[in-house]
Amino acid sequence: MANELKTGQRPPRIVLVAHVFHPSVGGVEITSDILARGFMRHGAEVTVITNTPEDRPTRVFPYDVFRRPSPWRLLALVRRADVVFHNNPAISLWWPLVLIRKPWMVTLRMWVTMPGEKLSRFQRLKYAAKYRIIERADVLVANSKVLANHVKGDVEVIPNSYRDEFFSVLDDEVRAPLGIVYLGRLSQDKGVDLLIQATAELVGEIDGFTLTIVGDGTEREALETLAEKSGLGGAVKFLGSLGPEEANRILNRNSIVVIPSRMPEPFGTVALEAAAAGCVVVYANHGGLPDAAGEQAIAFTPLDPASLSSHLRTLLSNPENVAARRKDALAHADRHKESVMVERYYAAIERTLAETGHGRNH
């Protein structure tokens, strides 16, 4: 089959498995759609299988989407496929591969187990089994070096892309040289409280700086209270959730984006979105954020608002440095456009088709 497909007798049939998919919103959901459309541009026939329901269809896709298929339908879809691609492991949808051997490719986009997480004996056994399943894939990919080191064997690193149709430098916006932005979910693990503490240290030292917080979540009220008590006053604004086009406009009106995550992010696509909009990224130096942010970005010590404040103070006091890093940020973003990611993933799909089909560890 692999040789037939290589000679062009017919395009490959790719089953893309995503545990979560539209209308859910997140990295797996976005990359699944980007890759499915990209594979189709290569001539492939693509089918998406997901556990995410959709009571009322709100979006039409150029490929078939099967939501929570019955066991018989799932078996039939896998049997018809030339290659099965799990865009992040979906173990509940993996079992047909035990019965029907197909070339199998897996991408790691999230932690299987969080680094340092305390697990019960039962959980250790459960996740050990999950790791063994994942590591049997014919081709295994991760979106960052830290995730690649999270499993055994040879793992290719293919970084995430960003949505380059939405994020770019706009000519009609005036950029504030002292403008700082946070873009993302307002939850405890994202560390926005650390950013508020760090910027509060700049009050009275750096005249005219601003902090704009874009996003919503369970911590918003607590963060607004913290900002008020920290003495930021009118220097901080909470804008709530915005669509990608408006978020891009906000980024274009500012110069610095901070990613203060408490948890080690597996990647951090927001770093690419910020770079594409011409912002300098300052990030917590753990997880996959160094890969996402690039060498031109600035790392601070995780969970340390004093370290973050020190780096922000230096940047805001040196506009020439900011301008130089902004230029390098655009070059970094260019290396992570959607087309680049799609090309690398399609090459990995072709490599999967060429494998013997007996798994990497057999």
pLDDT, one tens digit per residue, over 171-192 is 999 999 999 999 999 999 999 9
Report how far residue 75's alpha carbon sits from residue 93's, in angstroms, rounded to the nearest whole number: 10
Domains contained in the chain, CATH given? 2-161+338-354 (3.40.50.2000), 179-334 (3.40.50.2000)
**pLDDT for position 2:** 43
**pLDDT for position 1:** 44
CA dihedral 294, 267, 188, 246 (to 10 degrees): 70
Angle between helices 27-41 and 338-354 (to 10 degrees): 70
Report how far residue 276's alpha carbon sits from residue 273's, in angstroms, rounded to the nearest whole number: 5
Contacts of 101 (CB under 8 A, 6+ apart): 357, 358
Residue pair 179/254 in contact by the 8 Å Cβ criterion: yes
Strands 156-157 and 13-18: what pairing? Answer: unpaired
Task: Express as a percent the part of the chain with pLDDT over 70.
Answer: 96
Give the model confidence (pLDDT) of 322-336 as tens digits.
989 999 999 999 999
pLDDT confidence bin for 117, thresholds 50/70/90: confident
The percent of the chain in helix, strand and coil, each rounded to the nearest 5, is 40, 15, 45
Report how far residue 18's alpha carbon sits from residue 32's, in angstroms, rounded to the nearest whole number: 7
How many Cβ atoms from other residues are within 10 Å of residue 299's Cβ? 16
118-127, 164-173, 234-243: least confident range: 118-127
Q: Say how far residue 182 (Cα) sits from the centre of its chain.
A: 16
Residue pair 31/39 in contact by the 8 Å Cβ criterion: no
**pLDDT for position 58:** 77
Contacts of 263 (CB under 8 A, 6+ apart): 114, 189, 287
Is pLDDT above 80 for 362? no
Is pLDDT above 50 for 248? yes
Length of the chain: 362
Report how far residue 195's alpha carbon sits from residue 186's, in angstroms, rounded to the nearest whole number: 12
Predicted TM-score (pTM) of this structure: 0.88
**pLDDT for position 266:** 94
Strands 45-50 and 13-18: what pairing? Answer: parallel
**pLDDT for position 9:** 64
E-state strands within the chain: 13-18, 45-50, 64-67, 83-87, 104-108, 139-142, 156-157, 179-183, 210-214, 236-240, 256-259, 280-284, 298-300
Contacts of 117 (CB under 8 A, 6+ apart): none
